Copies of this chain bind each other. A is one copy, B any other.
Amino acid sequence: MTKVGIIGIGHGVFGRRSDATVQELAFEAFSAAMKDAGLTREDLEASVIGSVPEYHKQRSLPGVVQEYLGLNPKPTWLTEVACASGSAAIRTAWMSIQAGVHDVVAVIGCQKMTELTTAEILGLMGRVGEVQWESVFGTTFPAYYAMFARRHMHEFGTTHEQLLQVAVKNHFYGAKNPCALFRKEITLEKAMESDEVALPLQVYDCCANADGAACVILAGEERAKEISNKVVWLEGMGCATASMSVLRRPHMVGLPSAEQSGAEAYKMAGIGPDDIKVAQVHDCFTIAEIMAYEDLGFCKKGGGGKFIADRQSYIGGKVAVNVDGGLKAKGHPIGATGVSQTYEIAKQLRGEAGERQVPGADIGLTHNVGGIGQYCFVQILRRD
């Protein structure tokens, strides 16, 4: 099996992008990645789209994107696993290269979320749980994560201030990211005063829907080395699932799928949590980032609140987490998020992250969760 490396990266601005269709968003990220890699369309063998189709007026996105990018007649396919769709796209592209089926593949996470009406969006968001038995009881996203937060507070004494310190950190770094939706720092006081959503979660505990796209170009070892002198390698790839219903899980203070996919990725890469210098974790809600610290082994179970309070996830702490602003400040175009996470880690490992650069970053991690943890994808990346 060949090693697979990232040879090009591109990222568009996340936000309310009424200036662009979804294929135009895809083009923005794709053309930046192609320029970064120094490739022409002829060098590519296939594309993979990470996206959640229901949010688009346009049906069957890969065909429209493929045509708009000028990539016909090359193969394309879309992967969907809710908010982890971008990482699933990278995983299938990685497999296609390991299989020897393709050698150079573009992965494009792209998503429009603001072209539907609020009622339509709420209708979709309200059906994230199992619709036959669970959604009917009002288990929306914030409601699920509020239950995780309550239980974490109950079992470990985690405080709401600690939750919101995650938001303060992510806004602090998001302010330095030109692609972020919210480019402004916030104070803990301001966050504590924000409107209630599903208690204990307030507005600043929640990420925001956004339009956006990101792209990474992958190649097999030999071709990657020919094309680029700053390849970032996919060294560990973990993937696991868990029940839709949290009632059927062993506990409510973490995500079993994250623990399992993390363990699988560490094993494949032959490293452990202490080796990670920079990580992108799926902070759809502040409690999700705290649980990720624990599920990924950055601290022990229950220690996540103290971990952020001690600034261990800032640059200069144990592991720099979400220093691009995370979902919280960058915005969360659901199909694009996983690819955006990989983009950021590649940028960090290449030492090109500017104001938000983590010194000495040589090994990084992405943690991309779908739904309420029914899917988790973990990648370990290493610079050449």
Contact = CB atoms under 8 A, between A and B. Distances in A.
A85 to B, nearest CB: 9
A100 interface: yes
Contacts of A131: 57-59
Contacts of A98: 98-101
Given A53-B52, A76-B241, A77-B88, A63 B371 contact: yes
A243 B66 CA distance: 8
B127 A58 contact: yes
A3 to B, nearest CB: 12
A124 B268 CA distance: 42
Contacts of A384: none
B63 A370 contact: yes
Contacts of A60: 52, 80-82, 128, 370-371, 374
A67 B81 CA distance: 14
Interface stretch (A89-97, A146-154, A347-355): A89-97
Nearest to A102: B95
Given A53-B52, A59-B82, A92-B95, A73 B242 contact: yes
Contacts of A58: 127, 130-132
A82 B243 CA distance: 27
A207 interface: no
Contacts of A91: 77
B81 A80 contact: no
A127 B248 CA distance: 38
Given A53-B53, A57-B127, A98-B99, A73 B1 contact: no
Contacts of A374: 60, 63, 66-67
Which secondary structure dominates chain A's binding surface? mixed
Contacts of A52: 53, 60
A78 interface: yes
A63 B241 contact: yes
Interface residues of A, number: 59
B124 A59 contact: yes
A71 interface: yes
Contacts of A73: 240-242, 256-257, 260
Contact of A67 (B62, B64, B76, B243): B243
A375 interface: yes
A242 B66 CA distance: 8
B78 A79 contact: yes
Interface in A250-275: 256-257, 260
A239 B75 contact: yes
Among the interface residues A1, A71, A80, which one has the most CB atoms of the partner chain B within 10 A? A80
A54 interface: yes
Given A77-B81, A95-B95, 14 more contacts: A52-B53, A53-B54, A54-B54, A58-B130, A60-B128, A60-B370, A63-B81, A72-B241, A73-B260, A74-B240, A76-B241, A79-B80, A80-B80, A98-B98
18 contacts: A52-B53, A53-B53, A53-B80, A58-B130, A63-B82, A63-B244, A63-B370, A73-B242, A74-B241, A75-B239, A76-B241, A77-B79, A77-B80, A77-B81, A79-B80, A92-B92, A92-B95, A96-B99
